[in-house]
Amino acid sequence: MSGDVSDRARAAESSAARRLPRDIVVGACVLIFCAVAYAITFSFKQAPAALAQNVQPASFPRLVISVIAVLSAGQMILSLRLPEKALKPLPWAVAVSAAVMIAFVIAFDALGIVPAMVLLCFGLPVLWGERRWHLIVPYAILFPAAIYGLFAKILGVHFDPGLFGPW
């Protein structure tokens, strides 16, 4: 058993040794981002010289992008001789929750705020493993109602009626 564990640890170590340091990968991604952002600045319109006073709209963003690129390169160099802690694998609930975040905004647009909130307040606790229905059901009804009442009726925020509106 202990042999198994040490074998696994050795395997993880050797695979980590084979892998590029994480900060190198992150730095490379940042450099690609900088290259794309820099390229986009060429699509900015040129302002007339009298208006721009020698500082074109693209000048400052290019300066900032260059700073980010230099810092990123610096971070890559600094990380070369560094031992790094292994990242814990991403729990499935994180990916699901990120998808729920996006789905909520789509539902907000398509169905309206109240159904979107009810779906989220019911669905997310269930997805996260909650099974106490006597808590889930009242929560999924009362919390959205309270939030809608607070924002729409008291604070005067306008929400599109959505599919089932007006509320």
Give me the residues that bind another protein (CB under 8 A), please: 22-23, 26, 30, 37, 40-41, 44-45, 47, 51-58, 60-61, 64-65, 67-68, 71-72, 74-75, 78, 81-82, 87, 90-91, 93-94, 96-98, 101-102, 104-105, 108-109, 113, 117, 120-121, 124-125, 128-130, 135, 139, 143-144, 147, 151, 155-159
* Residue 133 CA, distance from chain mean position: 30
Which of 113, 154, 126, 119 is closest to 140 using CA atoms? 119
9 vs 25 by CB, closer to another protein: 25
Distance of CA 127 to the CA centre of its chain: 20
Say how far apart CA 8 and CA 14 lie, in whole Å: 10
Nearer to another protein, 11 or 63 (CB): 63
Min separation Cβ 3 and another protein, Å: 26
Is 7 or 93 the residue whose CB approaches another protein more closely? 93
| CA pair distance 147, 153, nearest whole angstrom | 10
The Cα-based distances of 134 to 71, 123, 141, 145, 147 in angstroms read 53, 14, 12, 17, 20
Q: Which CB atom, from 1 or from 90, has the smaller least distance to another protein?
A: 90
> Minimal distance in Å, beta carbon 87 to another protein?
7
Smallest distance from another protein to CB 26, Å: 5
Q: Is 23 within 8 Å of 79 (Cβ atoms)? A: yes
To another protein, the closest distance from the beta carbon of 105 in angstroms equals: 5
Nearer to another protein, 3 or 50 (CB): 50
Distances (CA, A) of 86 to 6, 13, 15, 134: 16, 9, 11, 41
